[in-house]
Amino acid sequence: MLIKTEAIILSALKYGEADLIVRAYTLESGVKTYMLRGILKSRKGKLKASLFQLLTQLEVVASHKDKGTLEYLKEAKVLHTYQSLHTNMIKGSMLMFLAEVLRNAIKEEEPNPALYQYLKLSLNWLDLHGSIANFHLIFLLKLTRYLGFQPEDSSADLSYFNMLDGVFQEIRTNEYCVEGKNLDFLKQFLSADFDSSKDIKLNQQSRTGFLNLLLLYYELHIEGFRKPKSLAVLNEIFN
């Protein structure tokens, strides 16, 4: 079936001498993977490899067979041109990290318009702002809402956060109960938005520790989730 949809590029891997395998999160069909034959050598084709940089927002026309196989991409054009995401080194490192998280976290070949809009608005915010040291932290925390394991914060004044159940509680009941500074940071980020998150004060050690906590939370709630390989690059950039 031929379909026109918005799409966010999650990865583009070279295959053979001239082909690309592109994975995208689409508004209409969830995660889709496309084989783009000859795109790395063709100068006359409609599709250019430069269109498929990480987390680029496109409008595509594609044939979806919905059989779990590689799909066919007929047309693509940039829907939103970033000002800095692909030229700023720090933001580029963050893009690598976020794209890897999204590849690990989102598997469904079905539409989730709320999730798509969240990704779109988040990337646009990142593109236009300069104080971004905490962006990946609040991005990951808010993403849990759309993935189905958002922390339940109606009792956020309690002494522990139970990562297994996603709730705040008065006593420690397992090894995954958070307390101390990470608990304070969690409460601050839960009540923040992208604009106010920059005012949450973390040093590099605290930022790395809280990020590792969030990634563990993902591992506990998403089967097969792996800590991103690009994490080391991100930590090095912020160091």
Q: Supply the range of the domain harboring residue 45.
A: 2-80
Same domain, 103 and 66: no
Alpha helices in the chain (DSSP H): 89-105, 113-128, 135-147, 180-190, 194-197, 204-221, 231-238
Same domain, 115 and 165: yes
Which residues neighbour 90 within 8 Å (Cβ) at sequence distance 6 or greater? 132, 237, 238
What is the per-residue pLDDT for 160? 97
Same domain, 50 and 124: no
The strand pair at 2-15 and 19-26 is best described as: antiparallel
pTM of the model: 0.94
Same domain, 60 and 23: yes
Same domain, 64 and 100: no
Give the total number of structural domains in the chain. Answer: 2
Q: What percent of the chain has pLDDT over 70?
A: 100
Q: Look up residue 52 and give its DSSP letter.
A: G
* Residue ranges in the chain modelled with pLDDT below 50: none
What is the per-residue pLDDT for 239? 67
CATH code of the domain in which 43 resides: 2.40.50.140
How far apart (Å, rounded) are the C-alpha atoms in residues 40 and 49? Answer: 6
Residue type, 125: W
211 and 136 Cβ atoms separated by less than 8 Å: yes
Same domain, 110 and 144: yes
What is the per-residue pLDDT for 82? 97
